Amino acid sequence: MTEISTSTVILGLGELIRCKRQEKQMTLQQLSDLSGTPKATLSRIEIGETRSPEFRTILAIASTLDISMDEITEVYIETERSPDALFTVLKEAAPNSLPVPLIMKIATKFLAINQRETSEDSVERLYALATETKEIPPRLALFKVISEFTDDHGIRPTLAKALLQSYLIERDDFTRLNETYAVGKIIIYHAKFLSVDDQITYYYKLGAHAYHLGKYEDCISHCSKIISLDTNESVHKAYAIDFTAFCHYALGRYDLAEKFNNVLKTFNIPVIQEKVDFMTAKLDGRKGDIDLAIIQLENCLDKYPHKVAVMYDLLDLYIMQKDVSAAERLFKHEKDFINVKSSYNPALVAAYAEYYTKKSEYYISIKEQAQAFHYLLESIMMFISVDRHHDASECVGMLLREAYKNPSIFGSLEIANEIESVVNYLGKM
């Protein structure tokens, strides 16, 4: 296959501009006046004499001629051999919503042809640009290119940083939390190349991710790294200890939960003290001191900004005591609930789902199946929205068991089709 010469392709750029200009019945002078580009420069570009026109000049001409950013960029980079020019294209074109594949193509070419810098310098330069890019798709695209290049060339420190940044972006997709957790765990093999601060950030994010998905042993392991790395009594370290206490509690290791809760008491951080009080109440309940636990939880309810977690535990104890009036009083606090459907915190969404599951248990206990079904459906959809399909499946099982006992409920609630669609959806997962 014959290789296209540089001058031929540059003529292609000039030819594109000339054809568009002629389509608009515009003279060189008119294009010069409208684009702010000297007529002589335009002439040289059109006949292919300018071998490396500035990208800003090309953008101004393209804008005047209504040539799309995608089209002019694709043509421009085909023959551009200057790393600085390609880098300029990335800086000026990426924020203008170029297609992700084109951004990746430009970045890959920049790294491949930049012979004047070492590979390490090139990727660091591109990494700095990626961190400055505010739009998520191009930002993620640049980190992906950097990850692939640094993996191929054995540049481990930048590979670790790029993988971490990609993970931090991708984990914000609540519908793929199981998938992105698996991606995040891969970084463990590269974590030693991160700075201590970045390691703490990484293990904290991964620990919170594991906790949300109910991977409590994983969470304990990730948080142990933070506890050993962080020599100060920082917020991250406090939260790592808090996560560890709650994981041990969830696993039924109440002695270890109490041990870590006692360590947490030494931190002078207001939000952490609230968590200490909450765990203390939960542990007292497990020890059988229900009345004390209820008093403590009711005190927590007044102080906690996110009341739903406390309300879950309180409702559990009220159901245990068959205290209907206390449960009904508790429901009045729901007026303080936030609009969780617009929340960017998957753990908080899951906490609401768990609460509504517990609330459905309450309504089942007082034989109000219609209300029980309503809150179970609410729970199912919330669990699905944050990729906790196992919990959603358990709720479906609970719902179907109750429906079997009370088949007439389908007619009164008109939810048979909705339940069937949820069951079918979960069956495909």
Residue position matching structure tokens 């709720």: 395
Token pair, residue 282, equals: 């939960």
Predicted local distance difference test score (pLDDT) of residue 3: 39
Predicted local distance difference test score (pLDDT) of residue 202: 98
Reduced to 3 states (helix: H, G, I; strand: E, B; else coil), residue 280 is: helix
Closest listed residue to residue 404, CA positions, set 381, 360, 427, 373 = 373
Angle between helix 83-93 and 55-64 (nearest 10): 40
Neighbours of 183 (CB within 10 A): 14
Q: Is the dihedral of CA 214, 218, 220, 223 positive or negative?
A: negative
Predicted local distance difference test score (pLDDT) of residue 411: 54
Predicted local distance difference test score (pLDDT) of residue 421: 62
How far apart CA 365 and CA 47 sit, in angstroms, is: 84
Q: What share of the chain is helix, strand, coil (3-state, %, to 5)?
A: 80, 0, 20
How far apart CA 206 and CA 13 sit, in angstroms, is: 48
Predicted local distance difference test score (pLDDT) of residue 265: 94
How far apart CA 387 and CA 170 sit, in angstroms, is: 14
How far apart CA 307 and CA 30 sit, in angstroms, is: 67
Predicted local distance difference test score (pLDDT) of residue 181: 97
Distances (CA, A) of 403 to 230, 367, 373, 383: 51, 13, 9, 20
pLDDT per residue, tens digit, the chain (429 aa), is 333 333 434 447 888 899 999 999 999 999 999 999 999 999 988 888 876 788 888 889 998 999 888 888 888 888 777 888 899 888 887 666 788 999 999 999 999 887 666 788 999 999 999 999 989 999 999 999 999 999 999 999 999 999 999 999 999 998 899 999 999 999 999 999 999 999 999 999 999 999 999 999 999 999 999 999 999 889 999 999 999 999 999 999 999 999 999 999 999 888 899 999 999 999 999 999 999 999 999 999 988 777 899 999 999 999 999 999 999 999 999 988 887 766 678 888 999 999 999 999 999 999 888 888 889 988 998 999 899 988 988 888 888 787 777 766 655 545 555 665 665 655 555
Q: Are 15 and 71 in contact (CB under 8 A)?
A: no
How far apart CA 251 and CA 261 sit, in angstroms, is: 15
State phi, psi for 399 to the nearest 5 degrees: -65, -45
Predicted local distance difference test score (pLDDT) of residue 75: 86
Q: Are 129 and 142 in contact (CB under 8 A)?
A: yes
Distances (CA, A) of 111 to 88, 98, 308: 13, 19, 50
Predicted local distance difference test score (pLDDT) of residue 11: 45
How far apart CA 34 and CA 155 sit, in angstroms, is: 47
Task: Specify burial of residue 408 (Cβ count, 10 A radius: 0-12, 13-18, 19+).
Answer: exposed
Q: Is the dihedral of CA 198, 203, 206, 209 positive or negative?
A: negative
How far apart CA 339 and CA 322 sit, in angstroms, is: 30
Angle between helix 28-35 and 55-64 (nearest 10): 110
